[in-house]
Amino acid sequence: MNGKNVNIVTALDVEKLCFSYGKKTALNQVSFSVRASECTILLGPNGAGKSTLFSLITRLYDSKQGKIELCEFDIKKQTRQALSRLGVVFQQTTLDMDLTVMQNLYYHTALHGIGRKLAKQRIQEELERLNMYERRSEKVRELNGGHKRRVEIARALLHKPSLLLLDEPTVGLDVPSRQSIVEHVHQLVSNHDLAVLWATHLIDEIFPEDQLIILHQGQIKAQGTIDDVLHTTNTSSIGGAFKQLTQGKKI
C-alpha cells in the first residue's frame, strides 16, 4: 500500500450520506469507514438501502448530501482516480453470456488499459485461485451460478483494486457454492491488502474477525466489531442483535 501502514489506511470513507427517491428516504446520515485488510459486512434486510449505497459508491447514482472518498479520492471531484481503486460484483450478473470466460476477462483488462501479456498473467492467476482456469474457454452461459460468480470475482480483481464491493454475491447459489465464495473472499482479505464491503442479509456469511454494519430503513443501527455490536444491543448472538435492531424485539 505504497509504504503506508495497512492498519490505518482507509479504503472507503462515507460521511453523512443521504439519498431519496422522490419523497422516500433511502439513506439518512450514513457514515462509516472501511479499512485495508478488513472485511466489513453490511448486514440489512431487503429494502434497507444496501443496493442504493452501492449505487452511490460506484457513481451509478449521485447524492447531493454527504461525501464519499475511495482511498482518499473524492468520488465526485476525482471520479476517475477513485473508481480505478474499486472492484465490484453486482447482485445481477454483468457478464456477456455469449463470450467465453477469457473473452470476458480480456475485455475488462482492456478497459483498464492493461497490456495483453500482463492481462494473461493476471487472468490465469485469478482463475487458478478460484479453480476456474480449466474452464477458461467455455462460454459463460454454459456455467452454473456459482461458477459465474467466481468469474465475476476474478474479473473484479484483475486491475488490483484496493476495495472490493460485493452486493449480495451469493444470492441464488447452493450452500457449497456460497461457502466456497465466502471462504475465498475472506482468504483474499487475510492474504492481501484488500478491503471488502460485503452487502448481505445472511448471517452465516459473517466471520468472527469481520467488521459489522447493521443497516435498517436507510440508517445505521450499529457498527463495529461483532463484540461491539453484541455489547451495544446486550445480546448473545448476531442473529439476536439483528432481530432487535431491525424488528425491535429481543430474543
What residues does each domain of the chain span?
1-85+161-251, 97-160
Considering the chain, what percentage of its residues have pLDDT values greater than 70?
Answer: 95
The CATH classification number of 1-85+161-251 equals 3.40.50.300
Q: Any residues with CB less than 8 A from the CB of 149 and at least 6 apart, and which?
A: 89, 169, 170, 173, 177, 181
pLDDT in tens, 24-65: 999 999 999 999 999 999 999 988 999 999 999 999 999 889
The set of cell numbers assigned to 172 is 441464488
Residue 4 has pLDDT above 80, yes or no: no
Digit-coded pLDDT (tens) for 195-250: 999 999 899 999 999 999 999 999 999 999 999 999 999 999 999 999 999 986 44
d(CA 143, CA 133): 13
Please give the span between the terminal C-alpha atoms of the chain, in angstroms, as a whole number. Answer: 43
Q: What is the pLDDT of residue 248?
A: 60
Kindly calculate the radius of gyration of the chain based on its CA atoms and give it in whole angstroms. Answer: 18
pLDDT confidence band for 91 (50 / 70 / 90) = confident
Nearest-angstrom CA–CA distance, 157 and 134 = 19
Find the mean pLDDT for residues 57-85: 94
User: 172 to each of 47, 77, 196, 202, how far by Cα in Å?
Assistant: 18, 37, 21, 12
Burial class (CB in 10 A: 0-12, 13-18, 19+), 129: middle
Encode pLDDT of 146-159 as tens digits: 999 999 999 999 99
Q: What is the DSSP string of 82-113?
A: HHTTEEEE-SS--S-TTSBHHHHHHHHHHHTT
Confidence class for position 251, pLDDT limits 50, 70, 90:
very low
